[in-house]
Structure formats: C-alpha cells, structure tokens
Structure 1
C-alpha cells in the first residue's frame, strides 16, 4: 500500500513539472499519465488476484440479445385508413365493372352472331336435311322405311326426335310437294302416316288441331272407311299415276313411314 502511494506521488510530481514546462512537454505528460493509469489498473488487478496476468485481447462479439419490450401503440388515423379502404374498394369495383362490361359485350356479340345464323327459324333443320319442303313458314320432312313397321304412336315418336309432329296437308300443291319428296326415297308404292285424322262419327277429315281440313284428295273411291281414324298418304313411284293421295286406316296399322312438320 505504501509503495502505491510513493508511485502516485512520483507521478504527480512529474506531472506538475511537465505542466510547468510548457506545451511541448504536455505530450510527455500525457504519456506519463497513461502509464500511470495502466500501473494503477495493474496494481488493482494484482491486489484482487495476485496470480492473474494482464488481460488478453478482446474476444469475438457475442450473440444478439432478445428483443426488448414492445412499446406502447400509437394513435390510429381512422380517417386516413377509411379513405384508403374506400379508394381500394373503388379500384376493385371498377375492375369488376370493366370485366362485366367486357363479358356482356361478348355475350351480345355472340347473340348477334346466333341471330344472323338462325335468322331463318328452320335453318338448322335445313342444314340437317330435315326441311326439303316448306309451307306457311313450316318445315316438312319424311322418314321412310323399306318395310311396314310404323304405327301412329311410333310416327309421333319419330317426329318428336327433332321436336316435330306428324304433318298436316294444307292444299293440293302442298300434297304434290310432299309426295315428290317421298318419291325420291322409294322404289315401290308406299304408305305414309300424316298428323290428320278422320272423325269416325261424321267422317269429316280434320287437321291435327281438330279443325276441319280445307283440302282432301282420296287416292281411290270408297274412302273414307267408316270407323278408321288414321289418315295416311299413298304414294306411287310414277308421279302421273292417278291412284295416289289420301286414305284412312286404324292408327294401329303399320305403314312405311311418316311425314313430319315443325
């Protein structure tokens, strides 16, 4: 302890002398002061642990410590948030509206194309070859088999496949056009069902809706047969033959085919 005091006094005396000798010697004094400090620290270390040596180089930097406590929340600007939300909503709504307008325009264009394509309500039937005869804005086509296997119920089913019904005959020209279409499909005389019928109580020929037919042409004498309600057309391969036209038979009778109307 006494030696420490002596060292301190010695350094103090040197320091006072340095300060008295001017600026040039201040650097020496500062160096002496640094040495003094080092000696003091060394003495303190030896006093605490007489076996310890000078501290070595500083070690590597340690890991980052845990995060501090979260600070208090600040004030929320709800007006600014509401404005931002409203702006985003308007932007998204505009996007949706733009998309909807685009889709609507495409749909309208598709409808216009469809209208141009089917401006004639029977265009699709024509494309399918189901409208070889036209009258009063209706399509007429015939289905003909080589054998007699079609009764009235089967005739209705066949026409219904293409959303049609067994046909009416409206006048002489219409009948001739229907027989001409059938004649292209046959090689012998043929019997074809229509949608007309005979009233068995009055023998009146009726249209499909029950109204009286304005035109009737029997293919031979003796018609109509009493008690037989189904009306058919008898067609010869020879267009000049007089033995062709209408006849009546029971609806359960089986013929070669049917004339359809839509």
Structure 2
C-alpha cells in the first residue's frame, strides 16, 4: 500500500510583506488578486518548511539538500535488488536518490556511516542503491531523470568498470576506511544492503 502525506496549513502573512492587490493589472474575467512576488515566495517557503518538518517526523528527511530530502532504508546484507529498491522508495511517496554535488555526497556519507555501521556489525562495508545509471562503454553517468550526473566520486581507481552489464550505480560506504567509500557500478541483478530515497520538498 502506498503511503501519502497530506498537510493543510494556515499561513499567517507578516504585516511587513504588505498584501498588495493591483486591480489595474488583474484579469477582467478573474476574481483572483495579483499577489506581490515576495508574498508568493514567503508562502512557498512556509509550505516547504512544513513539508520538511512532516518528512522529518516520519524519518524521511535525514539529510536535506537543495529541493530534496534524503533518507536511507536498511534491509540487511545483500537484500535489496533494483526492483525492491524502487518499490521501497515509491511505497513512501519517494523515488530513488541521486548524487547532486560533493557537498550533498559528504552530508550523506557523514549521516549514513554511523547510522548503518551500527546495523552491519562486523561487516566491513555496505552498499546503498541509488537511482543513477551508467553507460559502461562511454563512462557517462546519468541521474534518474536522464540528465548527466554532475558529480561522480568513484570509490577506487578500478571503477567505473567497463563490464557491459554493470549499468547501475551504488554508493559503497566503509565506516572504518573512508578512502574506500564512493560510487561503484554493478549489474542490475546485484543486491545491496540499503537504498537511498529522495523526496522533493519544493
């Protein structure tokens, strides 16, 4: 069953914004007032803040970056294939996550390292499935929306591999050896330990 979160919020506008209605520029066939741009921006920001807080309450905003909240779901060593990963995120109203920048990557690793390390006991590292893919021949990495990935922190010099079937991109985190952490590409049928999901909040 898919889970959806609906929030109805009353937003009080500060008097300093000044609710201005310009009747001269209003559409003659419309009853809607023309709001100044700063009021629209203020309302959008408040809605974004409320959405983020709701996601935090449900454990779905472990890391915030830009227009997205990110969260990780851990299911056990080698339990998450591509189909399961997509299903896990979609059941929470999210989608498979992407890496957008070094700053975001560093925040995710900083959060995930102790969080999942506590769950894998003596296992040296863990894999986290993302929504990113790669063309093994051209070495071009793509985001889940098909755009080219702007940042690709490969784990070691052996990645990305040119294995024809290694089209999915994982994050691999080693709590005791951060120099080995980063991206790896593997075959789609391979299984990771966790999944990275993202929710747009703007």
Alignment of 1:1-262 (within 5 A): 112=10, 119-120=48-49, 121-183=51-113, 184-186=115-117, 187=121, 188=123, 189-226=125-162, 227=164, 228-238=166-176, 241-262=178-199
- The answer to whether the 8 A contact 2:136-2:160 is kept is no
What is the root-mean-square deviation in Å for CA atoms of aligned residues? 2.2
Q: Secondary structure at the match of 1:217?
A: coil
Q: Specify every segment of 5 or more residues in structure 2 that has no aligned partner in the other structure, as ranges.
A: 1-7, 12-42
Q: Specify every segment of 5 or more residues in structure 1 that has no aligned partner in the other structure, as ranges.
A: 1-109
Measured after TM superposition, the shift of residue 245 of structure 1 is 0.3
Measured after TM superposition, the shift of residue 111 of structure 1 is 5.0
Higher helix share: 1
- The answer to whether the 8 A contact 1:118-1:124 is kept is no
CA distance in structure 2 between the partners assigned to 1:201 and 1:166 by the alignment: 24
Q: Which residue of 1 aligns with 2:5?
A: none
Q: Which residue of 2 aligns with 1:10?
A: none
Q: 1:140 to 1:221 in 2, by over 3 A?
A: same
CA distance in structure 1 between the partners assigned to 2:81 and 2:139 by the alignment: 21
Measured after TM superposition, the shift of residue 118 of structure 1 is 5.1
Query: Relative contact order (C-alpha < 8 Å, sep 6+): which is higher?
Result: 2
CA distance in structure 1 between the partners assigned to 2:52 and 2:178 by the alignment: 32
Q: Secondary structure at the match of 1:123?
A: helix
Q: 1:161 to 1:190 in 2, by over 3 A?
A: same
Q: Secondary structure at the match of 1:231?
A: strand
TM-score, length-normalised on structure 2?
0.69
Measured after TM superposition, the shift of residue 241 of structure 1 is 2.4
Larger Cα Rg: Structure 1 or Structure 2? Answer: 1
Q: Secondary structure at the match of 1:197?
A: strand
Q: Secondary structure at the match of 1:156?
A: helix
* Structure 1 runs (4+) greater than 4 angstroms displaced: 115-119
Measured after TM superposition, the shift of residue 158 of structure 1 is 0.4
